[in-house]
Amino acid sequence: MITVKAISRQAPRWQRELARAISDPAELLRELELDPALLPAARLAAARFPLRAPRGFVARMRKGDPHDPLLRQVLPLAAELAPAPGFVTDPVGDGAAQAAPGVLHKYHGRALLIVTGACAVHCRYCFRREFPYAEAHAGVGQWRSALAYLAGDASIREVILSGGDPLSLSDQRLGLLLAELDRVPHLKRLRIHSRQPIVLPERVDDGLLDLFARTRLQSVLVVHANHPREIDDTVRAALARLANAGVTLLNQSVLLRGVNDAAATLAELSEVLFAGRVLPYYLHLLDRVCGAAHFEVNESEASAIMEQLRQRLPGYLVPRLVREQPGQPAKIPVG
């Protein structure tokens, strides 16, 4: 797991916030006035996949509520350690799909670049929780071969920066990468998949907006919010700055038991997102990664929730329910 390096006082505010993120389960429990009896299990589960939650995100959680939907996404639980048949370490076949170091080219016209293993938050359900980022991401030294791969395939029109969270990179490093991508003539679009505008809205600062202003590529930012309470005034302000900078904003969520497995919650999420100028894009069925079985919502329940959503919302606010299946040419739509 990648650790956050010592951060100087001159570092941008978001980097200082990231360095102060909560990583000690005891501190999280104390902060939220939760039962210390949760601690031993939290420590065990965190030894497998460390806790990390920015303080601003924790501040949106309800004190004294162990079932808070935001808390559930980050609190390590004993349930993660229970064996669950069918839950594996690489559920989406990323290991096999690498076209070059750090490049996943599974779908026509789009190539995904894993630019970092680091995230501002550790989501307990994440399908990459078991992925060997340290070896698999296109580190600085490997950008050459990843860029050469993109440059060598003229069918690629869109480059997707992913990770980890690509906005964990400094503006300087992102700027170098974007300048290189700008020079690949067949690339038209830049898509960034990041949870940071939601969990660390400080990331959306002048430096980042400047990068979007400089690139010739049409920019899409796919954020990741699962519950309407994730979006507070600080997040709304960050999203407004991005939208005003001409960045197209989409959201993807994961359907999670105990977090957003109700039509009313998802309908409210769509409303809140749209008020923040974000369109719902995908609602993913959980990828069956070890340690996440307690989050699963089965397909028939998921379809029933979707049916209710379609009855409540205009079509453009209904996300597409999809499942990722290794070896398929696209995400698979589900009822």
Ligand X SMILES: *Cc1c(COP(=O)(O)O)cnc(C)c1O
Task: By CB under 6 A, tell whether 236 contacts ligand X.
Answer: no
* Nearby residues of 9 by Cβ (< 8 Å), 6 or more positions away: 16
Q: Which does 104 bind (CB under 5 to 8 A by kind): ligand X, ligand SF4, none?
A: ligand X
DSSP label at residue 315: G
Write down the number of H helices and E strands in the chain. Answer: 13, 10
331 binds, among ligand SF4, ligand X, none (CB under 5 to 8 A by kind): ligand X
Q: Using CB distances below 5 to 8 A depending on partner kind, what does residue 106 bind out of ligand SF4, ligand X, none?
A: ligand X
- Scan for tokens 């600080």, then name that residue: 234
Report how far residue 325's alpha carbon sits from residue 331's, in angstroms, rounded to the nearest whole number. 7
Q: How many residues bind ligand X (CB under 6 A)?
A: 8
Q: Which residues of 191-225 are buried (b: 16+ CB within 10 A; e: fewer)?
A: bbbbbbbbbbbbbbeeebbebbeeeebebbbbbbb
Shortest distance in whole angstroms from residue 184 CB to ligand X: 17
Contact 292, 125 (CB under 8 A): yes
Residue 200 engages ligand SF4 in binding (rule: CB under 6 A): no
Q: Is 331 in the site for ligand X (CB under 6 A)?
A: yes
Radius of gyration of the chain (CA): 19
What does 121 interact with, of ligand SF4, ligand X, none (CB < 5 to 8 A by kind)? Answer: ligand SF4
Up-side HSE of residue 55: CA atoms within 13 Å toward CB? 11
Per-position x/- string for 125-164, each x denoting binding to ligand SF4 as judged by CB under 6 A, each - no binding:
-x-x----------------------------------xx
Q: Check residue 286 for interaction with ligand X (CB under 6 A).
A: no
Print the binding letters for residues 81-120 with ligand X: x by CB under 6 A, - otherwise: -----------------------x-xx--x-x--------
DSSP secondary-structure letter at 313? S
294 binds, among ligand SF4, ligand X, none (CB under 5 to 8 A by kind): none
DSSP state of 113: E
- Name the residues that contact ligand SF4, by CB under 6 A: 119, 121-123, 126, 128, 163-165, 195, 224
- Name the residues that contact ligand X, by CB under 6 A: 104, 106-107, 110, 112, 160, 330-331
